[in-house]
Amino acid sequence: MEALLVLIVIAAQSITILALLKQRRERKLAEREAATRRADLTRAARIATVGELSASIAHEVGQPLGAILSNVDAADLLMRTAPDNAHAMREIGEILNDVRRDALRANDVIVRLRALLQKQSITFTPVDFDAVLERAASLVRPEARRRGIVVDVSLDTHGTQVLADQVQLQQVLLNLAINAMDAMENAEHPDRVLSIATKTWGDGVELIVSDNGVGIPDQNVEQLFEAFYTTKSRGTGLGLSIVRSIVEAHRGTVTARRKAVRGTEFVLWLPLAPTALAGESTRSGDPLEQVTPH
């Protein structure tokens, strides 16, 4: 009888253990599926962001391509009218240098866009904070010019590294910059300025993105990062929500406040790479995961 009771207890314990293992496996699967959905949503938002910049990007690529065509026509004319003229040959050499420069310029825009749009794993590595943001700022400048907005960039972390996914970090700046430019659309004053600045702060770095638009009402500041909250007629309300989710995945913080004079300021903080790497086990106990979007 005692042996039977022992077997029953062992069987019950085994069933409990199997049930717990099944729950844990299902929870892990659900977490991975949720992470994949977040990655897909983030990439979809990134594509939408690039779509908002499409007019200025087309101009940024079209300008050097137009210059290439003009230079090729000039070289063709020189070769037909003065094929044996040494001076003409030197001019053709200079023209070819210009063609190469413009081709590299157009290619650089395409490479930066491809990096933003391609489907890839989310990978956290030590990256130069300022260098990554400068690449994103280079995509913002043409759109700002098109809208008549001055871009003031002051990157002062001097090669400081953070543990980040480069593409997602660029997406954060693009979303914040587009949000700032949209906020200045209805500004009555002519001196519209988008300010992008970085600095070291404590054991991390800060990105400050500000505008001198109409500003956000104090009572709406807390709602800014909520999904689907927007004050724009054509907005999805996902841009700032995705910014917050990306920043939190990077162990950082992001806040917004109404500026004293006019406009809104967003402040993002991320930990330094050495601090993040050394303290990862004490902060979460789990390694940062890599997620491949579907």
Q: Which tokens go with 63?
A: 């300008």
CB–CB of 165/122 below 8 Å?
yes
Per-residue pLDDT, 82: 72
CA 232 to chain centre: 21
Residue 39, pLDDT score: 59
Residue 71 and residue 174: Cα distance in Å, rounded?
34
Pair of tokens at residue 275: 């601090």
HSE-up (13 A, CA, CB side) for residue 98: 19
- What does pTM read for this prediction? 0.61
Cα–Cα distance measured from residue 207 to residue 94, given in angstroms and rounded to the nearest whole number: 42
Give the three-state DSSP class for 201.
strand
Query: Which residues in the chain come in under a pLDDT of 50?
Result: 276-277, 279-294
Instruction: Report which residue type is found at 122.
Output: I
285's torsion region: left (phi>0), alpha (psi -120 to 50) or beta? left
